[in-house]
Structure 1
Amino acid sequence: MVLASGVLVPTAQATVVPTRQADALVGNPVEKVTIAFERTTATKCPVTFKIHGYFEGLPAGPQLVRYRLVGTEKWKSVKVPASHGEVFHAVLGTFNWDETTEQTSVQVEIGQPDGLTSNVLHYFKCGSPSSGETFGATAEKITLTPSGGPLVELVADAYLDAVQAVSGAEVALVSRYGFRTDLDEGPVTYEELWATQPAGLAVDVNAMTGAQLKELLAYRNPSGWVLTPSSSLRYTVENGTVAEITLNGVPVTDTQVIKIAANYILMGGWQGFPQWTGSTSVYHGGPDDRGALASYIVNNSPVRAPQGDRVTIR
């Protein structure tokens, strides 16, 4: 794999740490590191993307944190200022992938004695994994029902997880349209991911008011489906209107503005639901939906089935 990499760090220029300096670093200053994907090109392949890093548990004062991509030998570093707060954020690298790129995932290792690693991010638009490769596992069968059910709820959670850190998205919405089959219990193969979501659509984020969201959620497409939300949202449709709706357990008001993740086809009105007219674009840097689902399963493996009860229709 060839990575064209230029490290972009808002607070300081990242540098390569000399061996003696690296050897002198002791202790485990980072308790947790999370990375997030941001696509910066309109094309899905070739793609240029940034890797955002979020460091937690740093002790007080300035720090020098070493990191490298898993599978590479070259260590780099990021300078953390004294006023870093509870979570320090920096862009760890900008990469170019094309159809010649063999790798489909990115993970970061921290240069400290415990060998701390981040979550794994997958992206499939520039190439498919090797035959037989698996992506985490399910603890039980995750079923696809006529209206969506547990499988579509799982995908909604994966959408939100993929873009939340960078975009500030609060909820994800997914249509039952295009889904083909359940996810069986056990290791998840790429063939299963492909069968689950054959379109491979990018995940974007738009903002709309609570009133606009209620109107969208009240709509039933010609097949009788409504939209399936991530776990942060629950709603009830009664007599063609949204009678109850909560975001993170709090009732949604008509005037509040909510950032919502979805694939761009759904937003455009091409999955049997209305176009998101009047919404505002927030973020167009998410991964493809199969990559989002693979990342979510890998990082939460073994995954259990959601309850399939986020939407009530009376």
Structure 2
Amino acid sequence: MRFSPSPRRLPPLLLTASLMLSCAHGGSTLADTRPRTVSLQVLAINDFHGHLAPPEGGSGELRTGSNPDGSPLRVKAGGASYLARHLAQLRALAPKNTLVVSAGDLIGASPLTSALFHDEPTIEAMNLAGLDINAVGNHEFDEGTTELRRMQTGGCHPVDGCQDGTPFEGAKFQFLSANVVDGQGTTLFPPYAVREFEGVKVAVIGMTLEGTPEIVNAAGIQGFQFRDEADTVNALVPELRKQGVRTLLVVLHEGGVQKGTYDGCEGVSGPIVDIVQRLDAEVDAVITGHTHQAYNCVIAGKRVTSAASYGRLITAMNLVLDAATGDVVESTARNIPVTRDAEGVPEVQALIERYDSLSAPRRDRVLGRVTAPLQQPNSKRWPSGESTLGNAIADSHLAATRDAGAQVAFINPGGIRAEIDAGDITYGEAFSVQPFGNALVTMTLTGAQLHTLLEQQWEGSLVRLLQPSQGFSYTWKASAPVGQKVDPASIRLNGAPVDPAGPYRVTVNGFLANGGDSFRVFTEGTDRRGGPVDVDAMEAWLKDRSPLPPPETNRILRAE
């Protein structure tokens, strides 16, 4: 396969010579000697997460370069109606030979306008935008496999019904999940889709993050296995070849990172590199997601792309296919910002405004005030790993479960999805911080199990520092090996050393309670009691303590 950053033109002298040579051979033209080719445009997004309205703050910007003084140059991007407009403009370049795909997390961890209606608005918006295929990501499983099937097939929610007063028809595009199988080896959704363009067959294999069981509620995926991504693709290649497929695209919810701007590939690293290197040579391109990063790379001879998150970018990949063999002979790609400099698609905007209006009374209700911003974990701001927002959330969870005997609460950093500005806090803002609707669970762990829990924050190169409630403290050593990071003698609760043999009542969200994020020790907890939903706990906390100052960040100490 030939890779080009952009189409090339022959220099004038070489072009003239080529034409003269063609005329010297019976008057045939240059085009007559070339094999017939078919051009295919693939438009890709990933990690949209139900962001129907234009994302705000840094989540709604892209860095496009640097100003003369070295400061970052940014452009505002994203919003479903603007995304639909850009897709329509790009599709118009090749109306019959365009495929629009999503590399997962289309829904889940969504803002209130979508989440309040169980992400039906996002599915409907993507129907209008012309999405063809979605390879389901881990967040598609947030409400379990039964609810995910409803997203595909339609029907009213089994508990809340059709809240907007209209039927939900489901996705007009196809969900794919080649590596998600039940006990009989049957995939949850089809493993691939085969489309034909001017006689050339093109296969799209849809893949889910293999590590999904570690980061979603176990109850929702019971009975399903999530298999190795590369092994699953490679096993499908012979089957697709028998069907006459020679152009093979993988749309995968796993990714990497790179150091350059949104259309670069500077020092790409992460799980995607190993996965691509293990893929069969028949695979031509890999469209990725999960890390919310943007890149445009060639790895192991394959085009590999990612389009950031929240609909801020579209990857436009152009493939030139040999009409006779069906092989890809050339591949180019570019990441295009979804700018807001022109009107969006009116039908999509009308849909957003309708759901926005329906959600407004609940969204705009003021819960309380904070005297200063509550911010997410940031290693540069707080090298210890804690944060003002994480501590505040843990404090609210502890307060909400005191009646279950709770003595300490923890929140995982992945469960904190947005920050809170100073001033009034609305329900919509609180929901955006904790959008999963997790019920709290209080359990008993021993002091020794608490130490195990703290050590499980480091797993290989993966670090997930839990945010603890007030009164719990410990010290961890950066230079110590994994498994020996935390000094047991430093673990204290309300100033007293934690007794390894003593029982302690611990509150976490339902995701962690089922061993999410690889915190397996929580599955050993005894005497479990269910509590309120996390965002309701935050609402009660704010109501009782408004105006709320940011908590001190002195619960976790880091030693070198």
Band the TM-score falls in, shorter-chain normalisation: 0.5 to 0.7
What is the SS of the residue equivalent to 2:417? coil
Q: 2:413: which partner in 1?
A: 176
Q: 1:167: which partner in 2?
A: 404
What is the SS of the residue equivalent to 2:413? coil
Among residues 387, 393, 412, which one is paired with 1:155 in the alignment?
A: 393
- Deviation of 1:283 after TM superposition, in Å, equals 1.3
Among residues 455, 458, 463, which one is paired with 1:224 in the alignment?
A: 463
Q: 2:486: which partner in 1?
A: 242
> After superposition, where does 1:1-314 map in structure 2 within 5 Å?
130-146=362-378, 147-164=385-402, 166-221=403-458, 223-238=462-477, 239=480, 240-243=484-487, 244-284=490-530, 286-314=531-559
- Deviation of 1:156 after TM superposition, in Å, equals 0.3
The answer on whether the counterparts of 1:203 and 1:288 sit within 8 Å (CA) in structure 2 is yes
Q: 1:82: which partner in 2?
A: none
More strand by share: 1
Pairs aligned (count): 190
Q: 1:45: which partner in 2?
A: none
What is the SS of the residue equivalent to 2:400? helix
CA distance in 2, matches of 1:310, 1:131: 32
* Moved >4 Å (runs of 4+): none
Given residue 512 of structure 2, which amino acid in structure 1 is its aligned partner?
Answer: L
The answer on whether the counterparts of 1:219 and 1:226 sit within 8 Å (CA) in structure 2 is no
- Deviation of 1:268 after TM superposition, in Å, equals 1.2
TM-score (norm 2): 0.32
Residue-by-residue CA offset, 1:108-142 (whole Å, 9 max, x unaligned): xxxxxxxxxxxxxxxxxxx9953421101101111
Given residue 507 of structure 2, which amino acid in structure 1 is its aligned partner?
Answer: A
What is the SS of the residue equivalent to 1:157? helix
The higher radius of gyration belongs to 2
More helix by share: 2
Residue-by-residue CA offset, 1:46-78 (whole Å, 9 max, x unaligned): xxxxxxxxxxxxxxxxxxxxxxxxxxxxxxxxx
CA distance in 2, matches of 1:184, 1:172: 24
Q: 1:65: which partner in 2?
A: none
Given residue 528 of structure 2, which amino acid in structure 1 is its aligned partner?
Answer: V
TM-score (norm 1): 0.56
Q: Which has the higher contact order (CA 8 A, sep 6+)?
A: 1
- Deviation of 1:274 after TM superposition, in Å, equals 2.5
The answer on whether the counterparts of 2:449 and 2:521 sit within 8 Å (CA) in structure 1 is no
Residue-by-residue CA offset, 1:146-202 (whole Å, 9 max, x unaligned): 3451101100000000010x2111111111013122111001011211211111100
CA distance in 2, matches of 1:142, 1:223: 25
